[in-house]
Structure 1
Amino acid sequence: MTISNQVLLGDVVQNSALLPDNFFQAIITSPPYFGHRQYSTNSEQSAYEIGRETDVDEYVSNLVKAFESIKPKLKSDGLLWLNLGDTYRNKRLLGVPWRVALALQDNGWILRSDIIWHKPNAMPSSVTSRPTTDHEYVFMFSKSENYYYDADAIREEHVTFTSKSKMRGGRNHFGKPGGTPENGKNKGNRNLHDARWDQAFHPLGRNKRTVWTIPLSKFRGAHFAVFPEKLVETCLFASTKKGDFVLDPFTGSGTTGVVARKHGRNFVGIELVDEYQRMAQSRISEVDMQLPLFDVQ
């Protein structure tokens, strides 16, 4: 593929025609949020810029069209990871992420999970009439009921029997036969009731939960917070293998491409604004020159 590890300049719908069908194992992206920021000062580019619509329904419709155009490019067993933040208008929370998620579901995408991205270093707010927002959403979509997902690649450390456990009795249950006399869903589980909880837990850790605490990131070339590499890594490891192709149709500063290349995946991006297309391509090309320095997995 001649556009491997390249960032295409232009609109998503138009550029999607250049991409082969049934090719990408994962789409990992964070489109511009509704009404947050103007990225382009070029009038020709601005006509295609998502996020600057005056009406939230138009914004949702434009995103649905964009993802409809790239859906054929995703493999039948591939996954789409979509990060979106919300918007307030006239002191009303619009619920933009869920509007988009449900519209994509209506358009044929299968919504498999909603994830809360908790940002521990979220920007402080002077608001006093509601809680300060320190989260965004990540939605996991599939094209079909059968898709590639590597749960082992993103397992978390077990909490039960550690100092972080909130279970009544804590670690005192461990090693005590009859120490867990539940009558609920664990009733009859011999491992648990013989005090062998260790045998009921996966050796690589517990299954990934739906709240991910990941700090915001900064990149010196961008004057705003960027997609954190750790967030991209989690999506990447769960849905791809080394050598797979990853697509980001809203590339921005290029973090998805940087992470993909660092970990031995191939990448194609699409970016509307020429300034960010150059920035992203430069970052990705720099990683390619330094690949021997990375512990590719």
Structure 2
Amino acid sequence: MIMTQADLLAKIAHSSRVYTTGSGTQICADSREILPKLPANSVDLIVTSPPFPLLRKKEYGNEDQHAYVDWLVDFAKAAKDALKDTGSLVLDIGGAYQKGRPVRSLHQYLVLIALVENVGYELAEEFYWYNTAKLPSPIEWVNKRKIRVKDAVNTVWWLSKTDFPKVNLDPVRVPYSQSMKRLLKNPEGYYKPKLRDSGHAIGKAFGQDNGGALPSNLLSYPNSDSNGFYIRTCKQLGQRAHPARFPAALPEFFVKMLTEKDDLVVDIFSGSNTTGRVAERLGRRWLSIEESREYADLSSIRFMEGRELDEIREVYGAVKSGRCPQL
């Protein structure tokens, strides 16, 4: 039985609700306060990109690394009860250098180890998001001294409560290579069945058309949107867009792979609510939680594409006033 949005929000104060849509609700609060209020075993997928406040505000030595890990573990603990046994937690965590030193922080790996060994999650698989449009950074070690290469890959941990979370790879298959297309046209003539050096047997089964190839765990998406609807409209309203936005393709991959229609997708650090917008477009229910009221309000813009600016301004005003409109 699918819980209604009203069921999910029954214990959440109306004052923390920012806006609703046909499929979801934006909440302004600390996720650690909201997650325990959700019904147990109600969430199919949590996909999010946590902020890095400790990395930016403090010198990032061992003490700060562990403080960051402990801080993020608190959220993951709160999320575990809300997740279904078939559910998944997907964390996109960027890397960083230690302040003033050309050596890397280990925070994303310490988070992973803590979540598996201390909280009881399983690592279903590690993914790597390659941002093909990322500018060279950090400036000191890459641009100036030229002693490190460009840091362009984020770690993305796919975690689950059990060994066998819900997953369907068909929606995320990728186009076949030209050689595979030739094989599919004439499997018998392309090569003779044989045993490779690796021990893998190559035979007729490889000539089956599955509608596309399985993707790899290297996800290559540019984060280059500088004048999309959300950013452009923020400027027109005289507002500063959220500064750290991941491309829609990243949460879309996991929403497609790990959920099906009407499943519940949650983002516990929703920022500009890219995840909620993706979930809405794909026919999933969603709940997004953002502590900053400014960013939570602005995220409503994502659901107003196609409207005239005057109407957007009016609805955005209603959101800011706390009236929690349905968009």
Q: Please give the TM-score of this superposition, normalised by the length of structure 1.
A: 0.79
Secondary structure (helix, strand or coil) at the match of 2:179 reads coil
Deviations 1:11-56 (A, max 9, x none): 1211223322111111110010254557xxxxxxxxxxxx9x9711
Contact 2:242 2:271 in 1 (8 A): no
Deviations 1:51-107 (A, max 9, x none): 9x9711011011111110111111110111110001111222012211111111111
The residue correspondences of 1:36-185 to structure 2 (distance < 5 A) are 36-37=55-56, 55-89=64-98, 90-106=101-117, 107-125=119-137, 126=139, 127=142, 128-159=146-177, 161=179, 175-176=189-190, 178=192, 182-185=196-199
Which residue does 1:10 correspond to in 2? 29
AA paired with 2:200? N
Secondary structure (helix, strand or coil) at the match of 1:161 reads helix
Q: 5+ residue gaps in structure 2?
A: 10-22, 235-240, 308-327
Secondary structure (helix, strand or coil) at the match of 1:88 reads coil
Choose which of 173, 198, 201 in structure 1 pairs with 2:207: 198
Secondary structure (helix, strand or coil) at the match of 2:304 reads helix
Q: CA deviation at 1:181?
A: 5.8
Q: 5+ residue gaps in structure 1?
A: 39-50, 166-170, 290-297
Which residue does 1:237 correspond to in 2? 256
Secondary structure (helix, strand or coil) at the match of 2:246 reads coil
- For the residues of structure 1 that align with 2:254 and 2:195, how far apart are their CA atoms? 38
Choose which of 289, 292, 295 in structure 2 pairs with 1:276: 295
Secondary structure (helix, strand or coil) at the match of 2:199 reads coil
Q: Please give the TM-score of this superposition, normalised by the length of structure 2.
A: 0.72
AA paired with 2:147? S
Deviations 1:139-190 (A, max 9, x none): 1011112221011111122236169x9xxxxx99972554756344234x44
Q: CA deviation at 1:277?
A: 1.4
More helix by share: 2
**Counterparts in 2 of 1:54 and 1:9: CA distance versus 1, 3 Å:** farther
Contact 1:120 1:214 in 2 (8 A): yes
Which residue does 2:268 correspond to in 1? 249
Which residue does 1:264 correspond to in 2? 283
AA paired with 1:208? P
Q: CA deviation at 1:250?
A: 0.5
How many residues of Structure 1 are paired with residues of Structure 2 in the alignment? Answer: 262
**Counterparts in 2 of 1:190 and 1:135: CA distance versus 1, 3 Å:** closer
Q: After the TM superposition, which segments of 4 or more aligned residues of structure 1 sit over 6 Å from their partners?
A: 171-174
